[in-house]
Amino acid sequence: MRQVEAIIFDVFGTLVDWRTGVANAARPVFAAKGIDIDPLSFADAWRGEYQPSMERIRSGNRNYVSLDILHLENLEIALEKFELNREFNATEKEELNHAWEKLPPWPDTVECLNRLREKYIIAPCSNGSIALMARLARFGDLRWDAIVGADIARDYKPAAQTYLKSAAALGCNPGQTLMVAAHNSDLDAAAACGLKTAFFPRPKEHGPGQTIDLQATGAWDFSSRSLPALSDGLLAVD
Amino acid sequence: MRQVEAIIFDVFGTLVDWRTGVANAARPVFAAKGIDIDPLSFADAWRGEYQPSMERIRSGNRNYVSLDILHLENLEIALEKFELNREFNATEKEELNHAWEKLPPWPDTVECLNRLREKYIIAPCSNGSIALMARLARFGDLRWDAIVGADIARDYKPAAQTYLKSAAALGCNPGQTLMVAAHNSDLDAAAACGLKTAFFPRPKEHGPGQTIDLQATGAWDFSSRSLPALSDGLLAVD
Subunit contact A121:B132, Cβ cutoff 8 A: no
Size of chain A in residues: 238
Subunit contact B134:A143, Cβ cutoff 8 A: no
Domains assigned to chain B: 6-17+103-236 (3.40.50.1000), 18-101 (1.10.150.240)
Q: What is the ipTM of this complex?
A: 0.96
Contact status, residue A24 vs residue A164, Cβ threshold 8 Å: no
Q: What percent of chain B has pLDDT over 70?
A: 99
Cβ neighbors of A235 (< 8 A, separation 6 or more) are A115, A116, A118, A119
pLDDT of residue B50: 97
Q: Which residue in A8, A204, A211, A206 sits closest to A107, CA to CA?
A: A204
The partner residues of B177 in beta bridges, in order of sequence, read B6
Subunit contact A134:B143, Cβ cutoff 8 A: no
pLDDT digits (tens, 9 = 90+) for B25-51: 999 999 999 999 999 999 999 999 999
- What residue of B is the nearest CA neighbor of A138? B145
Q: Which residues of A touch B133 (CB under 8 A)?
A: 146
- What residue of B is the nearest CA neighbor of A122? B134
- What residue of A is the nearest CA neighbor of B137? A145
How far apart CA B176 and CA A31 sit, in angstroms, is 33
Subunit contact B135:A148, Cβ cutoff 8 A: no
Contact status, residue A213 vs residue A184, Cβ threshold 8 Å: yes
- Give me the half-sphere count of Cα atoms (radius 13 Å) on the Cβ side of residue A105: 19
Q: Which residues of A touch B130 (CB under 8 A)?
A: 146, 148, 152, 169-171
pLDDT digits (tens, 9 = 90+) for B124-169: 999 999 999 999 999 999 999 999 999 999 999 999 999 999 999 9
Q: Which residues of A touch B121 (CB under 8 A)?
A: 134-135, 138
Residue among A129, A134, A169 whose CB faces B145 most closely: A134
How far apart CA B229 and CA B114 sit, in angstroms, is 14
Burial class (CB in 10 A: 0-12, 13-18, 19+), B90: exposed
Subunit contact B137:A145, Cβ cutoff 8 A: yes
Element (H, E) at A51: helix A50-58
Subunit contact B171:A147, Cβ cutoff 8 A: no
Contact status, residue A192 vs residue A160, Cβ threshold 8 Å: yes
- Regarding pTM above 0.90, the answer is yes
Subunit contact A130:B143, Cβ cutoff 8 A: no
Subunit contact B145:A138, Cβ cutoff 8 A: yes
Residue among B134, B143, B171 whose CB faces A131 most closely: B171
Subunit contact B135:A171, Cβ cutoff 8 A: yes
CA A61 to chain centre: 23
pLDDT of residue A237: 83
Q: Chain A: give the shortest CA distance to residue B147, in Å.
A: 6
Q: Which residues of A touch B131 (CB under 8 A)?
A: 146, 169-172
Residue B237 confidence class, pLDDT cut points 50, 70, 90: confident
Residue among A121, A143, A147 whose CB faces B146 most closely: A147
- What residue of B is the nearest CA neighbor of A173? B131
Q: Which long-range contacts (CB under 8 A, 24 or more apart) does A29-33 make?
A: A29/A92, A29/A96, A33/A87
10-residue mean pLDDT series, chain A (238 residues): 89 98 98 97 98 97 98 98 95 98 98 98 98 98 98 98 98 98 98 98 96 97 98 92
The chain A residues in contact with chain B (CB within 8 A) are 68, 121, 123, 129-135, 137-138, 143, 145-148, 151-152, 169-172
Q: Chain B: give the shortest CA distance to residue A71, in Å.
A: 14
Q: Which residues of A touch B151 (CB under 8 A)?
A: 169
pLDDT of residue A99: 98
